[in-house]
Structure 1
Amino acid sequence: MSPALIEPVDVDVVIVGAGLSGLRAAVDIHKSGLSYVVLEAMDRVGGKTLSVPDSPQGGVVDFGAAWINDTSQVEMYRLAKDFGFELIEQTATGLNLYQDNKQNTVSFPYSGMPFPGCRRYDKQQAQLYEAFGQMAVLVDRSDPEMPWLGPDAKRTDSLTLAELGEKEIGGGIGSVVLNVLSRACLGLESSEVGALPVIDYVKAGTGLENISSDLKDSAQYLRNRQDKSYECIPASLKFSTRLAESLNAAAVKLSMPIFKITQSDEGCMASTSPGPEYRCKKVLLSVPSTLYLLIEFTPSLPATKEALSKSKLGYYSKTIFVFKKPWWRDAGFSGAIASDTGPIVFSRDTCVPNDKQYSITCFHVAEPGKQWSKLRAEDRREAVLKLFRAMFSTVVDDVPEPINIIEKEWTKDPWARGAPSPVMGPGVLTSDAGKAVREPVGHIHFIGTEASLVWKGYMEGAVQSGIRGAKEVIADLAE
């Protein structure tokens, strides 16, 4: 029987996307008693959370989102506690390494600033703190719920982040600071993004200090070691698998991409490939705005939503070096390195000592990452190893060979196409399009980490957005 002759499946709600946002929304829909289905294009749940074995030694590492905190990321922390997860603090001790664009490598304390030759009262250091201070003022003055109404909104939305650095944030040092921020948080160069969307992004992450720190209250404070009640699938992917386990049997349909959503006064018809059509009263769409173009909407989405599809997803990839021992810790180093030119833009120690998992995760982001991505697989690996060895060989006599090297390029994943979340260019956030990010279109409701008021681009933002979307749908269907 051809798909056209198969009777549609009737449910109250179709949830598109089985990442954290879609799954968390599904949990509340499930509890409400509404019927539902979760349709996922990938062959797994989790979206941009992905945990994989690191080596035959038995550890697990995260290719995707990895960190939470226990203060401002209340929903993720609640899930961790409800699921019985064991959280470990991010290592934030020892010396970091920094390489400038002339290949000079210097070490500095973990809490210090990565500029060679700087001392606390040096002119360059003072300029650096001034630039941070100026950016922090703009962030503090921004309105988190309606950023287009803030006192600096119109002016900053007319600029790229790079232009803001050149014109308002400390000249040369300001430009450097904002490009470091843009690369690390968004996977994009500061010239590619609007200044106001980045200010809003930082505001959603509780401020400049927290979003760029690995300490208490910050974005990179805690990682999930394992689920105490299960012996398999530790790390961040387990948040998604445990959410999925709480839903109806067979409610999550994998390898089931949506290619068309047809809307009428009564509801929606969601067409899948290669599966059936689903007739529903509401759709919860947990898809990045940059992927809206993969779905045929009938009638078309309004111009405001279509404009959002022109936002940019960053280049964000990881190479993970796995070692027999944490030799860098023994030598007094944190495992955190940074390079102006790449291909490693920054790294973090991602060890789990209790599991004898010793790793350093290297991040390839923005333009250096894009250039590295063009290389053949073996050349990519060699380029990362070369820089890693070159930087550490300036401070240790011997850089051990890793027992395993694994990488993940999110841009080459057909259902991700980049990470962490879409970012608008100049002039969008203060326009009607910017104000429409969270607005429903008829029976279609929009969720996902980019549509969150808090912690955009992070797991917390995804979960909170899912909760908000479920509330909208449940309230509408109760009328």
Structure 2
Amino acid sequence: MTLTDSNKPETVDVVIVGAGLSGLRAAVKIHEAGYSVVVLEAGERVGGKTLSVDASHLGGKVDLGAAWLNDTNQSEMYKLANDFGFDLIKQRATGFNLHQEPDGKVIKLPHGTMPLPSGAAEVVQEFLEKLNQWVDEIDPENPSSHPEAKMLDSLTFGQLGFKYLGPELGPAVADSATSALLGVGPDEVSALYMVDYFRAGTGLDNMASDKKDGGQYLRNRQGNQTFSIRLAAKLPKKAIRLRCPVKKIRQGSNGAIVETADPRHNFWAKRVVVSVPTCLYSTIAFDPPLPPSKQMLGDSTTLGYYSKTIFVFEKPWWREAGLSGIIESETGPIYFSRDTCSEEDGQYSITCFVVGDRGREWSKWSSAERKRIVSNQFKRIFSAVDIKAPEPVNIIVQEWTKQPWIWGAPSPVMMPGTLTSDSGKALRESYGRVHFVGTETSLVWKGYMEGAVRSGVRGAEEVIQAFEEE
């Protein structure tokens, strides 16, 4: 690149690539330590996979992305919520759930009940106990050190389910975890990766729970994108640069040049923090190239299909019928749903998750057809228990896989053979003056907002320590 007066790089202590929660949390911590920062965001907004919009003309917000936190083992997010004065809403899970079986039949179930064929409960419980044993034993800092790591990393989670539960139960039980949590089928992800993911989320029971300590315990009345907006507000006004996709990072002996798609917006920095999913590393040219272990991370990880369809109503009619608003479907495209109301705002909604292979098939239809298909399923499920769902005042659809610079949600997954390889061990390693953060790099609650924020803190601490040692 030939430098002219108009495209000479701006000088800054640290460039952060990506204005999601991990990048912004890193930027704020580095800025508060006294160093200058610039955050380069390829998209048109801050927030990454947090996005909050108006529910309808009636008021209130809904989250199209990350939706929950808790006040115990997600301490970083809870502290931010308190610092920012956000109003937290306990997730409602009162009443009966509706379970749609493969033949379309719908049954009412008490919340927390797992519908299983006769005689299957014992064998499923044994499998879950074995899973929990691995989860308790695994070292999150070094998963490959587990005595059974190589065995687990030689299998997909689907194969593990088949091995322990057989062909009837195995695929369905395995898919209920991988699709719901990560938007991928059970044969798209390593069994060891799933055990490590469960460990990061403090165990499968907590990850599935909407009670205290659970992954679905609290929602933010103001919407979770406001975490990113408020973090960005802690930085100097010119620190956030939107519509600035990074194309190249050229490292030298004392710094790095970060080139964006617009040659008028290039930067020289002493350190760089990359806060994009591993599978997007290939969108950036690194000079010198990333080591093979890092390159393989980019090539061998993938993001799942994750989308939401939110039905907004004038009243919470399902509550009056004694229902929780929770749907669990074995037919699709809806996989599961949650009551996402904010009573103080008069906002009454049910958020339906369309994920995994079912979601990919549904995604092939036109926008109008997708909305029609999911609306019809929603109505059929309630009519099967003699409840007529009223017409919604608004329907909001968000497909994360189709979002530029995001490609999917919630977190990249690894296929067999990756986590026990050099790539698995290189996940959090810096390369020269470049540091890597993101929710998938977190030891705790990876794939969640908590994991994103914790990874940002870790990346900032690496940078600050490097400055102090220079």
**TM-score with structure 2 setting the length:** 0.97
Moved more, 30-39 or 455-464: 30-39
2:362 aligns with 372
- Tell me if structure 1 keeps the 8 A contact 2:49–2:66: yes
**Partner in structure 1 of residue 241 of structure 2:** 253
2:290 aligned to 298, 301, 304, which one? Answer: 301
SS of 2:235 mapped into structure 1: coil
Label 1:4 to 1:390 Cα distance change in 2 as closer, same or farther (>3 A): farther
Aligned with 1:243 (options 231, 239, 242): 231
- Paired residue for 2:121, among 116, 121, 125? 125
Equivalent position of 1:231 in the other structure: none
Residue 130 of structure 1, CA deviation: 2.4
Q: Does the CA contact (< 8 Å) of 1:97 and 1:107 recur in 2?
A: yes
- The equivalent residue for 1:266 is 254
Deviation per CA, 1:222-270: give whole Å up to 9, x if none: 0011xxxxxxxx2101111110111112111111110110111111100
1:292 to 281, 294, 297: 281
Could you give the per-residue CA deviations for residues 438-460 of structure 1, whole angstroms, max 9, x where no partner exists?
Answer: 00011000000011000000000
Residue pair 1:161, 1:190 contacting (<8 A) in 2 also:
yes
Q: 2:446 corresponds to which residue?
A: 456
1:360 aligns with 2:350: yes
Q: 1:204 to 1:169 in 2, by over 3 A?
A: farther
Do the aligned partners of 2:123 and 2:165 also contact (CA within 8 Å) in 1? no
> Given the alignment of the two structures, is residue 161 of structure 1 paired with residue 157 of structure 2, yes or no?
yes
Tell me by how many angstroms 1:169 deviates.
4.8
1:202 is aligned with what amino acid?
F
Point out the more displaced range, 410-419 or 3-12. Answer: 3-12
SS in 2 for 1:82: helix
Alignment RMSD (CA, Å):
1.3
Please state how far the C-alpha of 1:341 moved relative to its aligned partner.
Answer: 2.3
Amino acid at match of 1:257: P
Q: Which amino acid aligns with 1:132?
A: L
Q: Within 1, Cα distance between the matches of 2:168 and 2:148? A: 22
| Secondary structure of the corresponding residue to residue 261 of structure 1 | strand
Q: Secondary structure at the match of 2:276?
A: coil
Question: Which residue of 202, 205, 210 corresponds with 1:206?
Answer: 202
- SS of structure 2 residue aligned to 1:387: helix
C-alpha distance in 1, partners of 2:408/2:319? 32
Q: Which amino acid is the alignment partner of residue 466 of structure 2?
A: D
How big is the shift at 1:124? 2.1
Whether contact under 8 Å (1:141, 1:152) holds in the other structure is: no
Tell me the equivalent position of 1:149: 145
Is the counterpart of residue 197 in structure 1 residue 193 in structure 2?
A: yes
Distance 1:35 1:388 in 2: 50
Q: 1:271-319: per-residue Cα shift (whole Å, max 9, x none)? A: 0122421001100000001111111111111111111112010000000
Question: CA offsets per residue over residues 136-167 of structure 1, 9 Å max, x none?
Answer: 12212211111111122111001011111111
- The equivalent of 2:272 in structure 1 is 283
Q: Could you tell me how far 1:171 is from its partner in structure 2? A: 5.8
Aligned to 1:229: none
Give me the TM-score of the superposition, normalised by structure 1. Answer: 0.95
**Counterpart secondary structure, 1:335:** strand
Q: Structure 1 108/3 Cα, relative in aligned 2: closer, same or farther at 3 Å?
A: farther
Residue 318 in structure 1 maps to residue 308 in structure 2: yes
Q: 1:175 aligns with which of 147, 171, 178?
A: 171
CA distance in 1, matches of 2:397, 2:428: 34
Secondary structure, aligned partner of 1:372: helix
The answer to whether 1:52 aligns with 2:42 is no
Q: Structure 1: state its 5+ residue gaps.
A: 226-233
SS in 1 for 2:268: strand
Deviation at 1:3, TM superposition (A): 7.3
Listed as ranges, the matches of 1:47-86 within 5 Å are 47-86=48-87
Residue pair 1:131, 1:170 contacting (<8 A) in 2 also: no
Deviations 1:323-380 (A, max 9, x none): 0100001000111101122110111110011110000001010000000000011110
User: Aligned letter for 2:433?
Assistant: H
Q: Deviations over 1:96-134 (max 9, x none)?
A: 11112211211101111134xx6xxx5122233223222
